[in-house]
Amino acid sequence: MNIALIGLPGSGKSTVGRQLARRLQLPFVDADQWVERQLGCSIREYFEREGEVGFRDFEQQALADIAATGPAVIATGGGAVLREANRACLREHTRVFYLFATPEEVYRRLRHDQVRPLLQVADPQTRLRELFSQRDPLYRETAHEVITIGRPSTAALVNTIAEIVQRQGG
């Protein structure tokens, strides 16, 4: 069974995903890293060169390919839910967990991050609020389960998700 983690950039998808994969003895796939390997350049470079539509086309095919290869734990890109085809693919081919975090929680976690393009703007908190208002309904539409990250440790989040998966016969 494929398990997909969705949520805002910085909500912990890759960190939780790696540990969850280890716990469930499944391969881990970071969709953004997978896309960059296929592209041969960073997502940021490709986005600048081909635009958002070009990137989202590539991302859509990548998610379909990743979902078809399972079982695995998949950390999606934060914007993967923007396309209906991706939402349908994830719901149909994976057990989707939305790692819910408020924009304020994400900002608190990432305020010192100098790498994420998302935060290299004049007002990163406002940017996170905009992303949240646009994407939260899509994350909720896609998710089979919503996990509030709040302040629990990564280990506690992994345990919660693993218990749900095991209870549902995963």
On whether 135 is known to bind a ligand per the annotation, the reply is: yes
CB 141 within 8 Å of CB 87? yes
CA 99, CA 13: separation in Å to the nearest integer? Answer: 7
CA 74, CA 100: separation in Å to the nearest integer? Answer: 16
On whether 170 is known to bind a ligand per the annotation, the reply is: no
- The length of the chain, given as a count of residues: 170
Q: Max CA-CA distance within the chain?
A: 46
Tell me how many degrees the CA angle 85-90-93 measures, rounded to the nearest 5: 115
On whether 108 is known to bind a ligand per the annotation, the reply is: no
On whether 49 is known to bind a ligand per the annotation, the reply is: no
CB 128 within 8 Å of CB 8? yes
On whether 10 is known to bind a ligand per the annotation, the reply is: yes
CA 72, CA 131: separation in Å to the nearest integer? Answer: 27
On whether 56 is known to bind a ligand per the annotation, the reply is: yes
* Binding-site annotation, residues for ATP: 10-15, 116
* Binding-site annotation, residues: 10-15, 32, 56, 78, 116, 135
* Binding-site annotation, residues for Mg(2+): 14
* Binding-site annotation, residues for substrate: 32, 56, 78, 135
